[in-house]
């Protein structure tokens, strides 16, 4: 159950990165808009990478380390 909650939080992190990008994209036209778009893209990419890393850690922690043997 805990890994499932962790994976859902990783998905939430990606949506928040996308939300930051959308806020920057919808800002009024000015010189700060281009800076906001760059920061939004960085936030989106970093949230995908960080969320993916945490998802892999949650999934790998719930899987047994050694493969099951049929000869036991």
Tokens coding 25: 């994209």
Where does the chain show beta strands of DSSP type E?
none
**Which of the 8 DSSP states describes residue 1?**
-
| Nearest of 61, 57, 55 to residue 14 by alpha carbon | 55
pLDDT value, residue 12: 87
Residue 60 has phi, psi (to 5 degrees) of -70, -25
Cα separations in angstroms, 10 against 31, 36, 46, 47, 56:
32, 23, 12, 8, 10
Label residue 71 by pLDDT band (50, 70, 90): low
For residue 57, what pLDDT is reported?
Answer: 82
Q: What is the pLDDT of residues 47-68, one digit of tens each?
A: 888 888 888 887 887 666 566 6
């Amino acid at each position: 159950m805990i890994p499932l909650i962790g994976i859902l939080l990783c998905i939430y992190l990606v949506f928040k990165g996308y939300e930051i990008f959308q806020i920057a994209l919808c800002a009024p036209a000015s010189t700060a808009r281009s800076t906001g778009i760059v920061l939004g893209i960085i936030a989106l990419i970093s949230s995908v990478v960080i969320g993916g890393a945490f998802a892999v850690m949650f999934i790998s922690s719930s899987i047994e380390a050694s493969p099951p043997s049929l000869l036991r």
